[in-house]
Amino acid sequence: MLEFEPFYLTFKLALTTTIVLFVLGVPLAYWLAFNHTRWKVLPEAIVGLPLVLPPSVLGFYLLMAFSPQNVVGRFLESFFDIRLVFTFPGLVIASVIYSLPFMIQPLQSGFSMVPVSLVETAYTLGKSRFTVLTRVLLPNMKAALISACVLSFAHTVGEFGIVLMVGGNIAHETRVISVVIYDEVEAMNYQQANVYSSILLIFSFLVLVSVYTVNRKMQKVHYQS
């Protein structure tokens, strides 16, 4: 029988991750887009690491860091009574790190696409950096905002390796759809695995179609202006 809870957990994880990533991603992408120091390549490389690193590698190091037997995990547990390994909050932190480039890179390129003269004009009108960010930059990069959020959400829905490493397979806590599919295949319930997989496949396809449609529409508006 199809379980509802893994879907709920997956979407809760993806939504929480996307919100956290957006809040962290806007200032970080802003800094990367407008900072011209040569050291910028270091944070850029760190942000891009999850693109090339196997999720199991990232998951392994996070598992080590979160473990109560190590410094970070011990500190969090003894000072804040927080345990991150095999818990939903730990999974959110791992997902945020894993999906970081999917939020940062579209936002960074969105910031760079807004003409510099618009920003400079706003400064000549006496507007602060924050006003320029909220009234000029973000409203004129809607396609990038939508792409970044949708891709981060979809990427989190589809993650498996890091979920298994950091979250384990704990019902009601960290058992998301990708883990359930793995379980069903292990138990040779291919029919059930197929149902879960089809739902994920259709979802991912629809997400990409919607992103491309929005981008197309936005580009047309941009071209007309």
Partner 1 sequence: MIAINVTRKLFGANGVLDLHFETTIANGELVTLYGPSGAGKTSVLRMLAGLLKPESGSIRIDGDVWFDSATAINVRTQDRGIGVVFQDYSLFPNMTVRGNLEFALQKGQSVKIVDDLLELTQMSNLHDKKPAILSGGQKQRVAVAMALVRKPRLLLLDEPLSALDSLMQSKLQDYLLQVHSQFKLTTILVSHDVTEVIKMSKRVLIMENGQVVKDGAPLEALPLDGLRFVERDGKLP
- Which residues are at the interface with partner 1 (CB under 8 A)? 115, 117-118, 120-128, 135-136, 139-140, 221, 224-225
CA distance 75 to 38: 34
Question: Based on CB atoms, which residue is closest to partner 1, 51 or 125?
Answer: 125
Least distance from C-beta 207 to partner 1, angstroms?
26
Q: What is the DSSP letter of 173?
A: T
Question: Based on CB atoms, which residue is closest to partner 1, 118 or 201?
Answer: 118
Least distance from C-beta 52 to partner 1, angstroms?
36
Question: Based on CB atoms, which residue is closest to partner 1, 5 or 120?
Answer: 120
Least distance from C-beta 87 to partner 1, angstroms?
41
Task: Tell me the backbone φ, ψ of residue 172, rounded to 5 degrees.
Answer: 65, 0
**Structure tokens of 107?**
């936002």
- Altogether, the residues listed in the chain come to a count of 225
Least distance from C-beta 86 to partner 1, angstroms?
45
Least distance from C-beta 113 to partner 1, angstroms?
12
**Structure tokens of 91?**
């999974």
Taking a C-beta distance cutoff of 8 angstroms, is the pair 218, 45 a contact?
no
Question: How far is CA 128 from each of CA 134, 137, 150, rounded to the nearest angstrom?
Answer: 10, 12, 29
Question: Based on CB atoms, which residue is closest to partner 1, 69 or 117?
Answer: 117
Question: Based on CB atoms, which residue is closest to partner 1, 79 or 126?
Answer: 126
Instruction: Give 12's contacts (C-beta < 8 A, 6+ positions apart).
Output: 88
Question: Based on CB atoms, which residue is closest to partner 1, 69 or 224?
Answer: 224
Least distance from C-beta 215 to partner 1, angstroms?
17
**Structure tokens of 27?**
């200032």
* 217, containing H or E segment: helix 190-224
CA distance 3 to 72: 35
